[in-house]
Amino acid sequence: MLSILHRLTGAALSLSFFIFVGWIILLAGGSHYNNLLDLLFLNPFSETILFLASIAYFYHLCTGIRHLFWDLGLGFEIKTFHITGWLALLTTALLTVLFWINII
């Protein structure tokens, strides 16, 4: 299940890249785009999307590291498999919380 979610978060991050690029373009446009930036990004819907994108990013990062170890042939024992799965989930939560604490 975690591997399937790893692939889904990768796809979601690919789509969220377009939001990020649009944000950068508006930032590069200068101060006369500030009202548009506020309208687009300072609302509950956009903040929820950004929060979910940050979870997807950190989840994909953590499970990607797990997959790298698998590529080396490590971590396939059942006990290690379960431990690294929970570790990836806990690390995702921790990194997401720390990230948002630093933003706010």
Tens-digit pLDDT profile for residues 33-70: 888 888 888 899 999 999 999 999 999 999 999 999 99
The domain made up of 2-103 has a fold known as 3 helical TM bundles of succinate and fumarate reductases (1.20.1300)
CA-nearest of 15, 101, 95, 5 to 55 is 95
Q: Give the pLDDT mean for 9-20.
A: 92
The pLDDT of residue 32 is above 90: no
- What pTM was computed for the model? 0.87
Predicted confidence (pLDDT) at residue 104 exceeds the cutoff of 90? no
Q: What is the pLDDT of residue 3?
A: 92
Residue 23: predicted pLDDT:
87
Instruction: Give the contacts of 70 (CB within 8 A, at least 6 positions apart).
Output: 76
- Distance from the first to the final alpha carbon of the chain: 32
Taking Cα atoms as reference points, which of 70, 75, 57 lies closest to residue 16?
57
Report how far residue 80's alpha carbon sits from residue 63's, in angstroms, rounded to the nearest whole number.
Answer: 14
Which residues fall within 8 angstroms of residue 11, CB to CB, at 6 or more apart? none
